[in-house]
Amino acid sequence: MSNMVRLILQNFQNESSHKQTIPIKSVIPAGLGMAGIAIKAQPSKDSFEASSSDKINRQVFINDFIKGNDENVDRVLKTYDFAQFGTKGLPLDYPRKNFVDDIIKKVKPNQELLSKFNLNRTIFDIDGIAKIPSKTEDIEDGLKEAVEKFYNNETKFQDRTVNSVMNKLIKGMPEFTMTVGKKQHGTHIYSVDIHSLIVLQKSLNHPDYEKLSNESKQVLKLAILMHDFGKKGNTITPGHAKQSKLDAQMILDNYDISPEIKKRVINIIENHHWFQNFNTGIYDKKDVLSIFDTPEDLLIAKIMAKADLESISDDFHRYILIPYKYLTQKEFDREFAKKIQDLKF
């Protein structure tokens, strides 16, 4: 095995920390994330305060993007080449680099001020899912302006149909914009937003996707879009599934969807690294079935796990199923199917 492969596998193991992970329905000590590493879970806060037009955009997003009432949405999601944007992220009218530069100029070393917006400045990036405080002091006006400008963004695609679809996403779930252009650590060749969209694309094209009920398709889409919201920029983020769950809880309250859908989405997000533990023997069949306790959610988990692994890079997934063996795509498909074939109720 080459040094590069060893480095990739080491990074992956560091991020997932499978040997310390335990099922969600096991007893989890307070303050421990799904990776078994202590993290400071941020309390749920009010998300971006929506105006009447924002509320309309959110409803359009649910109807057209999540429920699939606009046939262009699924067509674009299934066929568009999102990978071309690599670590740059979706093209925005107000790009991430400008946003981060503006934030740093306004905040400088004042982290306390930035935290009022649910954000955190790191050496690499601006992390967190922004919120607009209900009351802002004069000193916060510039920061508030930058956050609102980034959230009230627009995509810039030459193709009008693609542009319309992607605008439905960032206007209907403005929090997704916080992942646009956010670089991940060296194992990943895509920014968080592009990775998420490729996971979604592979899931929608999975042969088992059409076996899902309409409601389960909605659950899958929402879970994938938010599954990496808790990641920090350009660094390994153990326990990010736990933070993504907290972010999703906050965000889903902005939508007119059933409590049952919300519950399912949150559970899938918190446990989206289940396969890494199952693959290495940390989880057994009972553990997995105790996490995803319905056939529909188990099928979503299977579809999403395969798509997630295949969306890290072009070939990362081919190294992890069988130690020290690089698989072809056909071999990976076959071995993955073997791994999960006995996972059923």
pLDDT bin (cut points 50, 70, 90) of residue 19 is very low
**Rounded to whole angstroms, how far apart are CA atoms 274 and 135?**
41
Computed over every residue of the chain, the mean pLDDT equals: 85
The pLDDT value recorded for residue 138 is 54
The pLDDT value recorded for residue 33 is 34
The pLDDT value recorded for residue 135 is 62
Sequence-distant (≥ 6) Cβ neighbours of residue 55 within 8 angstroms: none
In the predicted model, is pLDDT for residue 42 greater than 90?
Answer: no
**Token output for 244:** 């993504």
Radius of gyration of the chain (CA): 20
For residue 203, the surrounding DSSP H or E stretch is helix 192-204
In the predicted model, is pLDDT for residue 44 greater than 60?
Answer: no
pLDDT tens digits along 89-119: 999 999 999 999 998 888 776 778 888 889 9
Read off the pLDDT of each residue in 233-259 and give the average, rounded to a whole number. 92
**Taking the CB of residue 237, how many other CB atoms lie within 10 A of it?**
21
Residue 220: CA count within 13 A, CB half-sphere: 33
In the predicted model, is pLDDT for residue 305 greater than 50?
Answer: yes
pLDDT bin (cut points 50, 70, 90) of residue 54 is confident
- Backbone phi, psi, residue 155, to 5°: -85, 160
Sign of the CA dihedral 265, 270, 271, 276? positive
User: What are the sequence ranges of the domains in the chain?
Assistant: 3-46+74-82+184-340
The pLDDT value recorded for residue 202 is 98
pLDDT tens digits along 58-75: 999 999 999 999 999 999
Sequence-distant (≥ 6) Cβ neighbours of residue 149 within 8 angstroms: 94, 99
pTM for this predicted structure = 0.85
pLDDT tens digits along 130-163: 987 766 555 566 888 899 999 999 999 999 999 9
**Rounded to whole angstroms, how far apart are CA atoms 56 and 316?**
40
